[in-house]
Amino acid sequence: MEPGSQHTGSIERPQDMPTHLDPQDRECLDRLRRNDGASVQDLCQEFGVTPTAIRQRLSRILELGLATREASRLEGRGRPRHIYHVTQRGLKELGNNYGDLARILWAEVKQIDDSGTRQRVIDGVRAALVSQYSSQVGFGSTAERFKRLAEVMTESGFDVELDERNGLPLLRERNCPYPELASCDSEICNLEQDVFSEVLGTPIELTSCWRDGESCCEFESRPEQLPAELVLLQ
């Protein structure tokens, strides 16, 4: 059965819901855009993979509302061929890959000759990130802020979970929010640590990092500097 065979269009999905599109699915979506639509057979020829693999990719893309499927009947008898097209949401998703731009901008910032000016720009970036997260996290105990920060990041499409260690909250990132930047400059990791410290209202330490070969990044409260009103996780 073709992906989405019970639907003539894309599946309805809230416009602000994160897509979690992996690189292979993104490439498939981009082929649909460049070719102004394609069938399963067309994509098999382009990628050199089986129809099953292509159908699995298309099923995920359809579910995310990034493409639609329509029947195109061939001449003579036989089953119609289905053509997949990118939706407006799909076009927006393809335009949301800012990794290269972010890396270039960060490199230009680091090349500012005047150290005072360079630091003011970096401080401005930090302040903007703190403001963005703080407006969504709000107030409350440190444990409550940890929980809300994890929720905010998850809603933004990041694989984040809240855990605890020695009775204290721990934020675990299973995918780096800034992989392109972190891969070339560890200062991004320090920046994120500082941002979390301000948002959570307590000193935070990056105790495990993807850059060091770990499978995830972990941010923990520093027990010797915890505020007295910290509510421990149960």
30-73: pLDDT as tens digits: 899 888 899 999 999 989 999 999 999 999 999 989 999 998 87
Domain-located, residue 234 = no
- Whether 231 shows a pLDDT value over 50: the answer reads no
Domain-located, residue 51 = yes
Considering the domain architecture, whether residues 81 and 166 belong to the same structural domain is answered as no
Q: What is the pTM of this model?
A: 0.60
Q: Print the domain residue range for 187.
A: 99-225
- Whether 145 shows a pLDDT value over 70: the answer reads yes
Higher-pLDDT residue of 18 and 25 is: 25
Considering the domain architecture, whether residues 137 and 210 belong to the same structural domain is answered as yes
- Whether 11 shows a pLDDT value over 50: the answer reads no
Considering the domain architecture, whether residues 111 and 30 belong to the same structural domain is answered as no
* Number of domains observed in the structure of the chain: 2
Considering the domain architecture, whether residues 121 and 152 belong to the same structural domain is answered as yes
Considering the domain architecture, whether residues 145 and 221 belong to the same structural domain is answered as yes
Considering the domain architecture, whether residues 122 and 89 belong to the same structural domain is answered as no
Last residue of a domain, one of 94, 116, 139: 94
Assign residue 70 the CATH number of its domain. 1.10.10.10
| Mean pLDDT of the 193-199 span | 95
Instruction: State the pLDDT at residue 233.
Output: 43
Q: What is the largest CA-CA distance in the chain?
A: 78
Last residue of a domain, one of 40, 73, 94: 94
